[in-house]
Amino acid sequence: MTTRRKFILSSTAASVATMLGMPTLSFADDVIEKADKPLRILFLGGTGFLGPHTVKHAIARGHQVTLFNRDRSKENLFPELESIIGNRDPKIGDGLSGLKGKRWDCVIDTSGYIPRIVEASSKLLADYSDQYLFISSISVYADFKTAGQDETAEVGTLEDINVEKIDGKTYGPLKAYCEKAAENNFKNRTTIIRPGLIVGPRDRTDRFTYWPVRIAKGGEILAPGDGKDFVQYIDVRDLGAFIINCLETKAMGTFNATSPIYNETTADMLNYCRDVINKDADFTWADTEFLNTHDVKSWSDMPVWVPRQGENSGLSQINSEKAEKIGLDMRAREDTIRDTLTWFVDQPKGRQNSLRAGISKEREASILNAWHAPTNS
């Protein structure tokens, strides 16, 4: 995987500066070299968050991509590509029948959440492809009390392996069962990638976006803990590039995919944001006990943040060295921050006014007032 960075001034970046009263931002544009050998890639999905970035990278590398989905996206992404309409669930409509009799070098599955459904697609495609790459999650691990877990750590299980309801308790184990389904059918031709928190342009969750957006507004900002807790996340474009790299190099096996362990703290992350976006932002660090008292939750109210003590302390201390050795590479944090904000402020006003993670301006002000109250000093 060979990539060089080129910075160009974009009209979108200029609009960020105008709207937020900041110096003009540059948008980072990847200039990608062609692969030595083009591949025929089948993409199951490809219209959400990770999908479009991965498809875009595959096209830039010169690969031939076919999309398989339900044709429900309103964005009309990649109209130039071959598209097969169907359903991942073989029980719905024509199911996977449109895939029969065709041939691809490899399959990318970013939309598998139910083992029965991954079983169906991997079983059918085992005779039509040489490699099945399944996007799983670090959520598969049984617990996060231990720091430094690698791919050999125990994964979660369910009492009822046939459950298909996805929630906080079932998501991780179901992904683990999906991995098994793919491996049962493709054997040693399977690649499992377990990403951590995926961030960047097009992120619908705002689990990272909250911080660049909040810091752009400036003023006093509630920050969690003491700034020394570790954070881990991966730019969606870097994950997309790694996925394609695994296909080009025929890398089989299981790989955690997130930023290097013990490399970045909450203070680092927020300071990067401040340096890129708004140097006038002022952080007030409130300790974990105080935040717990005021029902300020890690990860949701304070996105990305996980306290380094507690039952989830290992969530942001995952070992991805195996992936790094075969080509997982991270762009500069400043690029991720800049591009995420540039993308977000180009969204419709309604979307900008309804962040899906973090706390409201009013609640933040109330908590800051409580922190500064004499009884807390």
Domain that holds residue 157: 34-195
- Classify residue 91: in a domain, yes or no: yes
- Classify residue 183: in a domain, yes or no: yes
Number of domains in the chain: 1
Residues with Cβ < 8 Å from 124, sequence gap 6 or more? 96, 99, 100
- H or E segment at 240? helix 236-248
Length of the chain as a residue count: 377
DSSP conformational letter for 317: -
Residues with Cβ < 8 Å from 327, sequence gap 6 or more? 1, 242, 245, 246, 249, 251
| Side chain identity, residue 82 | E
**Beta strand 220-224 pairing with 234-235:** unpaired
CA distances to 65, 108, 374 from 75, in Å: 18, 21, 53
- H or E segment at 319? none
- Classify residue 355: in a domain, yes or no: no
- Classify residue 335: in a domain, yes or no: no
Question: Are 26 and 13 spatial neighbours (Cβ–Cβ below 8 Å)?
Answer: yes
- Classify residue 277: in a domain, yes or no: no
Print pLDDT tens along the chain (377 aa): 433 333 333 444 444 544 454 444 444 568 899 999 999 999 998 788 999 999 999 999 999 999 999 877 767 889 999 999 999 999 999 999 999 999 999 999 999 999 999 999 999 999 999 999 999 999 999 999 999 999 999 999 999 999 999 999 999 999 999 999 999 999 999 999 999 999 999 999 999 999 999 999 999 999 999 999 999 999 999 999 999 999 999 999 999 999 999 999 999 999 999 999 999 999 999 999 999 999 999 999 999 999 998 889 999 999 999 999 999 999 999 999 999 999 999 999 999 999 999 999 999 999 999 999 987 75
Instruction: Using alpha carbons, select from 129, 90, 85 the residue that is nearest to residue 106.
Output: 129
CA distances to 19, 81, 169, 323 from 68, in Å: 39, 11, 29, 27
Instruction: Using alpha carbons, select from 118, 346, 25, 344 the residue that is nearest to residue 213.
Output: 344
State the CATH number of the domain containing residue 74: 3.40.50.720
CA atoms within 13 A on the CB side of 183: 15
Question: Are 109 and 44 spatial neighbours (Cβ–Cβ below 8 Å)?
Answer: yes
CA distances to 115, 141, 154, 155 from 252, in Å: 20, 20, 20, 19
3-state helix, strand, coil in the chain (%, to 5): 35, 20, 45
pLDDT at residue 20 in the model = 52
Q: Give the Cβ contact number of residue 74 at 10 Å.
A: 6
Question: Are 126 and 186 spatial neighbours (Cβ–Cβ below 8 Å)?
Answer: yes
pLDDT at residue 70 in the model = 87
- Classify residue 190: in a domain, yes or no: yes
pLDDT at residue 28 in the model = 52
pLDDT at residue 47 in the model = 82
- Classify residue 75: in a domain, yes or no: yes
| Side chain identity, residue 258 | T
- Classify residue 233: in a domain, yes or no: no
pLDDT at residue 196 in the model = 97
Q: What is d(CA 241, CA 255) in angstroms, rounded to the nearest whole number?
A: 14
Residues with Cβ < 8 Å from 187, sequence gap 6 or more? none
